[in-house]
Amino acid sequence: MSGPAPISRRPPAPLLPAEDARDGALVFVVTILCFIACLALVSALAANRTAHGWRTELKGSATVVVRPGPNETPDAAAARAADALAGVRGVGEVEALEKEKAEALLEPWLGKDLPEDLAIPRLVTVELDAKHPASAASMEAALQAAQVDATVDDHSLWLKDILRAGLLAQSAAIAVAALIVAAAAAVIAFATRAGLQARGDLVSVLHLAGAEDGFIAALFQLRFGRMAAIAGLMGAGAAAIVAGLFRLIGGEAGLMPVLPIAWSDLLPLLACPIAAGAVAAISARTTALSLLKEMT
């Protein structure tokens, strides 16, 4: 045999036709899924941070409701309560709220210009040591010792609700993310199945020429993994723009006070292309290997 050898040759062309990867509908679907997943993630992060803030705030303080004795003014009773609490270990600042402040707290329910003879309980706010907060029992004991008729509210009732709400938000976000991952995996599995069936001629030639199942599966794995990574990038980008707009419009408090988006919430979105690519690659490989076993 004789003939001129080529001086240089471009790298071998992909064994799967390039046009198979340009399935616009598939890219669109995966992009939308990634977009929803990213928004769910940002919302979950914002909700979690809000719940954590509330938790810290409630855990770091207590409220004492003081009922004055028969021969005592409310102000005097509150002052005695504050004195008694100031000496308790684990208590920081103690402040007896003035009558006007107590009325202001009740204003949403009772309105303005309350009757003079209405017995409004006096409140004492207690800031607790962050590391070793005083317990409700120790504060109640100190109040009893000082013969002050009072009830200590260490916000434990609210804390339970806050914790439950935070857990619910996190669980919902995880459930949404899991559903989206499952949907994305199913979409890719469907596309891989269609791709293998459409390229049955190619798969047959590769098999008969000695290609291993893993080699053929890797073609689809790489193809769909790359496509999903690009779709993930687009979905995450769109979600970042939307979340960024919310942050810009709403300022630090956010568009909704319950979901104050921070710029740092957008950082995890960087992982979306990698996660989407990985899910698609695993789904495509698993599906392809399963189908190839049925082929000769």
Partner 1 sequence: MVEPPEPDAGPVVSFEGVGLGYGGGPEILKDLNFDLEPGSFHFITGASGAGKTSLLRMIQMALRPTRGAITLFGRDTTSLQRAELPLLRRRIGMVFHDRRLLDHLDAFDNAALPLRLAGARLPDYQADVAELLAWVGLGERMNSTPPQLSGGEQQRLAIARAVVGRPDLLIADEPTGDVDHEMAIRILRLFVELNRLGTTVLIATHDDDLVARSGRPVMHIEGGSLRRISSRGAVA
Q: Return residues touching partner 1 (CB under 8 A).
A: 1-6, 9, 11-13, 15, 17-19, 201-202, 204-213, 215, 293, 296
* Residue partners of 213: CB distance under 8 A and separation at least 6: 288, 289, 292, 293
CB of 203 to partner 1, least distance (A): 11
Contact (Cβ atoms closer than 8 angstroms) between residue 240 and residue 291: no
Task: Name the minimum Å distance from CB 216 to partner 1.
Answer: 10
Q: Which residue, 19 or 116, has its beta carbon nearer to partner 1?
A: 19
Nearest CB to partner 1, comparing residues 25 and 208? 208
CB of 294 to partner 1, least distance (A): 11
In angstroms, give the least distance from the CB of 284 to partner 1. Answer: 19
**Contacts of 2-7 spanning 24+ positions with Cβ under 8 A:** none
| In the complex, minimum distance from the CB of residue 292 to partner 1, in angstroms, rounded to a whole number | 9
E strand or H helix that includes residue 40:
helix 24-59
- Specify the 3-state DSSP secondary structure of 151: strand
Residue with Cβ nearer partner 1 (15 or 65) = 15
| Closest distance to partner 1 from the beta carbon of 258 (Å) | 54
- Judge contact between 92 and 128, C-beta under 8 A: yes
Tokens of 135: 């317990």
How far apart CA 248 and CA 255 sit, in angstroms, is 9
Which of 12/111 has CB closer to partner 1? 12
Residues in the chain: 296
Q: Is the dihedral of CA 110, 112, 115, 117 positive or negative?
A: positive
* For partner 1, the closer CB: 11 or 251: 11
Nearer to partner 1, 146 or 211 (CB): 211
> In one letter, which amino acid is 133?
P
Residue 47 near residue 258, CB atoms below 8 Å: yes
